[in-house]
Amino acid sequence: MMKKIKYTVLTLIIGLSFGCFEDNDDNASGSSSVKDFVWKAMNNVYLYNADVADLADDRFTNNTDYNSFLDGFDTPEALFESLVHDRENVDRFSIITNNYFELEQSLSGVAKRSGAEFNFYYVPGSTSEVFGIVRLILPNSNASQTPLTRGQIFNKINGVTMTDSNYRSLFSGDTYTITLAAYDDNNTEDTSDDVISDTAEDITLIKSVYTENPIFKTEIFDVNNDKVGYLMYNTFVGEFDSELNQAFGTFKTENIDHLVLDLRYNPGGSVRTAAALGSMITGDFNNQVFATLQFNENLQNNNYDYVFTDELSNGSIINSLNLDKVYVLTSGASASASEMIINSLKSYITVVQIGTTTVGKSQASQIIYDSSNFGRVNANPTHTYALLPLIAITVNKDSTVVPASGLVPDIELKEKAANYGILGDPTEPLLEAALNEIQVSGRRSNIMSNNNNLVLINELDSKSTLMIAD
């Protein structure tokens, strides 16, 4: 009989712990070592292991039964996918990789990118043709060396008209050429009469290894004799915590009265960094619970409270603004740690959310390696597979989770295809809405959702939607 899995709590340097899988005499000969790793890891740490029948401790009667199950899958990827719980509705985020070096780089803000980020929409009147809008140009990237700017429209890649079935593959190469297009809204709010026309202007983009500084832009505005700080923050990366703290140091020195935190393109990242950011905004709740990570039923000893703090992990004193209200800009790309900021701060201060509904992800992930304790040290040297499964769910101090349907804004305002605006400019629609809300001193303004009913399909050349437990 296959032994029931035993768990030994092993505290990791990063402050969390996982159960140690100890049935070493159950490694049946003839089974793929990678697939064996995939099953044991998911059985041990996966948040939804109790909901997957094939991950039950008593699923297999003996090693032969276990090996036969593993051999039924052609690849580790196929096995992994079979173990994911309700991919369409519950777990949209767990992944497997055959190169954990690339995954590690990506999670630290390093990835092979052109530096251009896009949103994609259906062409008005079409159910298949797609056009793209440049939403972001990262500084010091290849894209920043081209004439490409935020808000520009394009409808062809490498001369091929984009559709909902081909646009992803058209971006797969390290080099690609986009053909710019012209957008005419016919001076109406109704997008049904909008027209997209071809131009002859092509721009070639080249992907290369790029390290993104998540602090994209900071500004300070005067509104009714109050100072308003603006920060566009694009991913929660611990390696840039000091730079984030420096930005808040400037806000603190300038004695800002209000803060607009722009998370519209922020897909998440480090939980610890999110707690640090919350501490920079507030400063009044030291050692109180910011968020709690709750693990599966076998790993309840790992449940962990992230608290408000007055210092970074490197010992630097946090620059706190002591604000009792914050204005947060969101979109359908805001996820995980971005949603955690809103959900957690709402238990303590007023959060005014402006934009569109967020992704709806309150689960956290961690890289899981093929080693005795699933950590990086002593990982199996014969392969570079790793998992990034959902391992925990986050709740605020009131035990409230972010709903799977996302966080609904207090003021709904979509980015309009015909006018994306300049990020950080007070006339950019979402920032303008926040400044208007501040100007009317909390009385609900006249900002309403614009009539931009174009269907947003997806974002591309961006980061994964992740929350990293660290």
Q: What is the mean pLDDT of the chain?
A: 87
Q: What is the pTM of this model?
A: 0.84
Distance CA 238, CA 470 (A): 9
Residue 377 identity:
V
pLDDT over 90 (residue 29): no
Residue 349 contacts residue 326 (beta carbons within 8 Å): yes
pLDDT over 60 (residue 458): no
- Please give the pLDDT value at position 94: 95
- Please give the pLDDT value at position 242: 97
Per the listing, tokens 């429209």 go with: 153
pLDDT over 60 (residue 115): yes
Q: What is the pLDDT of residues 303-361, one digit of tens each?
A: 999 999 999 999 999 999 999 999 999 999 999 999 999 999 999 999 999 999 999 99
Alpha-helix residue ranges (DSSP H) falling in 404-460: 429-439
Binned at pLDDT 50, 70 and 90, residue 112 comes out as confident
Residue 453 contacts residue 255 (beta carbons within 8 Å): no
Residues contacting residue 400 through CB under 8 Å, at least 6 positions apart: 343, 347
If one compares 452 and 322, the residue with the highest pLDDT of the two is 322
For β-strands 226-233 and 258-262, DSSP reports them as parallel
Residue 155 contacts residue 196 (beta carbons within 8 Å): yes
Binned at pLDDT 50, 70 and 90, residue 290 comes out as very high
Burial of 75 (0-12, 13-18, 19+ CB in 10 A): middle
Mean pLDDT of 273-293: 96
Other beta carbons within 10 angstroms of residue 8's beta carbon come to 12
Whole-angstrom CA distances from 103 to 262, 392, 403 are: 26, 19, 27
- Please give the pLDDT value at position 443: 56
pLDDT over 70 (residue 23): no
- Please give the pLDDT value at position 18: 45
What DSSP line would sit under 221-287, residue for residue? EEETTEEEEEEEE--B-GGGHHHHHHHHHHHHHTT-SEEEEE-TT--EEEHHHHHHHHHHH--S-TT
% of the chain beyond a pLDDT of 90: 73
Q: What is the pLDDT of residues 152-203, one digit of tens each?
A: 999 999 999 999 999 989 988 899 999 999 988 888 877 778 888 989 899 9
C-alpha 436, offset from chain centre = 28
Distance CA 197, CA 156 (A): 11
C-alpha 11, offset from chain centre = 26
Mean pLDDT of 92-117: 88
pLDDT over 70 (residue 376): yes
Distance CA 87, CA 216 (A): 33
- Please give the pLDDT value at position 442: 53
Nearest to 131 by CA among 118, 143, 142, 144: 118
Mean pLDDT of 52-68: 95
